[in-house]
Structure formats: structure tokens, C-alpha cells
Structure 1
Amino acid sequence: MLCFATVLSGCGPQLVNFPFEPGGRSLNSSFADLQPRVSERYIVFVSDRSGSQNLYLYDTVVHSLVELPGLNAIDLLVSSPSISENGRLIVFAGSREGRSGIYLYDRETRQLRNLTENLKAEVRNPTITADGNTIAFESSADGQWDILLYNRDGQPLEPLTDFR
């Protein structure tokens, strides 16, 4: 069990304790909660609360889980979530039928897309920029783990070469 006493940023760090709720309807529960990421008012994390590994979103302002219609599926294992600053876009690594992908979920349109469907490689550990326009992730396309950048439409971006 991971107890969510986390540091949130704002005017400065503050320690926030969330109460324990054994039924899994709050942030702290007796279930395995993994890989939490914080963005503004939201915490996105992976948990086995429903009997399978699903992605959850917690709103720290209203103190409740947020519904994510169309995101979690019985045939999709999720890991490594990340969320845009405004909480609209969630990116995560997923595995379906033994094939890994980087998925983007838009809370406004309730659409889930595999951004790397045409990439012939294993992928892992995505992160999304605060504005939600760029996704970075690891890919084994060249036989080693490299970092790739994609826009949120699933198009590869030119690699950064100037590291001044």
C-alpha cells in the first residue's frame, strides 16, 4: 500500500495528508497504488482497485476520484502515467496483446489513442509537457533505449541536438 502524503507545489511546498478510505473511493486505500504523478490539482496513478491494473485520477480540490470514461479496458495493462498541467491530457505506457504503446487520453473528448501504433519498437516511461503539446518517451527502435519526442497528434518531432 502506498500512503499518499505528498508534496504539492503552488506558493511553496505544502504537505497534504489524504484520509484513509478502505473501499478505494478516495486517494488512500489498502490497494496497491503505483507511480503517482502530480500536476496542479490532480494526481494520476495506477492501481489494482478494480481487480486489474487501471489508471486513476484524483482531484485534490474536491477530494474525489475523477471518472475516466473510455480509458481503462480489461485487455490493456497501464503503467507510467503523466498528466498535463490543466489535467485535460493523460499519457501512459500500455500493453495490449503483448505489444507496448504510448497512449494519450483526452478527458474533454473522452478519446483514447495509441500514439505509437506504427512504431515497430518497445516503448516505455512517457511524460507530457505542462501545456500538453509534447510527449517524450523511451523507445528501443534502434536496438537501444533512446528518447523520442512526439506531438500530441502522434507525429514524431525532430530530436534536440543543441544542448547549450
Structure 2
Amino acid sequence: MKRVIVLSTLAMTSLLSGCVGYPRLLAEPFDPGGRSLNSISEDSSPRVAGRFVVLTSDRRFSQDVYLYDLQERRLVDLPGLNSLDAIASSPDVSEDGRYIVFAASRQGRSDIYIYDRSIRQLRNLTSDLQMTVRNPTLSADGSTIAFEADANGQWDIFVYDRSGRPIVGPGAMP
């Protein structure tokens, strides 16, 4: 069933393969070892941007972020991104695949993280916020991150730039 969910999402973006005029199902191989897009593990929150699919999966006995390159048809190595002490969720990726944003929970605290593939750097964007955060999304060029935060007993939308400065929300410049 999980394979159908991933393929359904990918079918909507089948024009990435260069076929124009009709949708085409992307038939990625199933790999019981978890080295392909489809696996026996629980894969969730797939997002597509350009030639990349980002998702979370429990393939290595922890909830991690995975990036799949549709053009090269392989998982992309993400050194320094995943951690055994964090539960990742809600990933998103920039159009060029350079930036990945996701929520993670560590020791009962949730934060929003951004990973820069070109320099292999993971940064916590919300370490100064004393509230629960969730559901980040990334602009196509990777410059802007929006997410939900439970400020004042309600869920509000916060918008930050890639460096972690608020654009909209508490602390934002008018």
C-alpha cells in the first residue's frame, strides 16, 4: 500500500521525465533493503520539487529524512542530517535540491531545521522559540521558510529567512 501512495504522488509530477502531453507513472523498483524510493518501511510526507522527492521513513529504525533524485534514480547521501536522537517529520526541499527543511523532535522539544547539501550543514532555525513548531515549507529557491508555531495558545504562521531571521512573526522587523 505504501508503494501506491508514493507512486500516486509521483504520477502527478511525471512531466519531470520529459514526456509532454500525458501523465506517466514512475515505476521505481522496490528494494527490501531500503536503498531505493520504495521500501517495506513506513514512508511518509513525500514532497516533490524539481527532480527531487524528499520524505521521512523509518528504514533504519529511526524516523529520518531521505532525498531521492528522480533523474539519477537513486537516494542522495545526506551526511550530518539525520540523528539517532531525533524524530524527523514534514520535510520539504528546494527546487534545486540544495536545501532541505524539516521538523524534528528531540527530548520532547520540537524545532525546525534547515540542511544545506552544498556545505553539509544542519542548522536549528527555531532554537530561540519556546513553543511547539511543526509543518515547515520551503520556497522554491530555498530562501524562505514558513511553519506553524503554537504562540499564545493558537497555531500561527511564522516566516523566516534561510539564515533564521523572522520575516513574519514575533521578532520580525516591521
> Same-fold call, TM > 0.5?
yes
Instruction: Decide which of 79, 89, 98 is 2:99's aligned counterpart.
Output: 89
2:156 is equivalent to residue 146 of structure 1:
yes
Q: Percent identity?
A: 56
- Amino acid in the other structure paired with 1:46: T
| Structure ranking higher in helix proportion | 2
Corresponding residue for 2:133? 123
Deviation (angstroms), 1:38: 0.5
- Amino acid in the other structure paired with 2:94: S
Instruction: Decide which of 49, 52, 57 is 1:39's aligned counterpart.
Output: 49
Corresponding residue for 2:108? 98
Q: Secondary structure at the match of 1:108?
A: coil
Matches of 2:39 and 2:85, distance apart in 1: 24
Instruction: Decide which of 147, 154, 158 is 2:168's aligned counterpart.
Output: 158
Q: Deviations over 1:76-109 (max 9, x none)?
A: 1100000011000000001111110000000001
- Amino acid in the other structure paired with 2:2: L
Matches of 1:150 and 1:14, distance apart in 2: 36
| Structure ranking higher in strand proportion | 1
Corresponding residue for 1:77? 87
Q: Secondary structure at the match of 1:142?
A: helix
Q: Secondary structure at the match of 2:26?
A: strand
Q: Secondary structure at the match of 2:123?
A: strand
Moved more, 127-136 or 14-23: 14-23
Deviation (angstroms), 1:34: 0.7
Matches of 1:108 and 1:142, distance apart in 2: 37
**CA-atom RMSD, angstroms?**
1.4
TM-score, normalised to structure 1, is 0.92
Corresponding residue for 1:18? 28
2:76 is equivalent to residue 51 of structure 1:
no
Corresponding residue for 2:172? none
Which 4+ residue blocks in structure 1 deviate beyond 4 angstroms?
Answer: 9-13
Deviation (angstroms), 1:15: 2.6
Matches of 1:61 and 1:2, distance apart in 2: 22
Provide structure 1 residue ranges, at least 5 long, that are not aligned to the other structure: 160-164
TM-score, normalised to structure 2, is 0.87
Q: Secondary structure at the match of 1:100?
A: strand
Matches of 2:46 and 2:92, distance apart in 1: 8
In the comparison of the two structures, how many residue pairs are matched? 159
Corresponding residue for 1:162? none
Deviation (angstroms), 1:14: 3.6
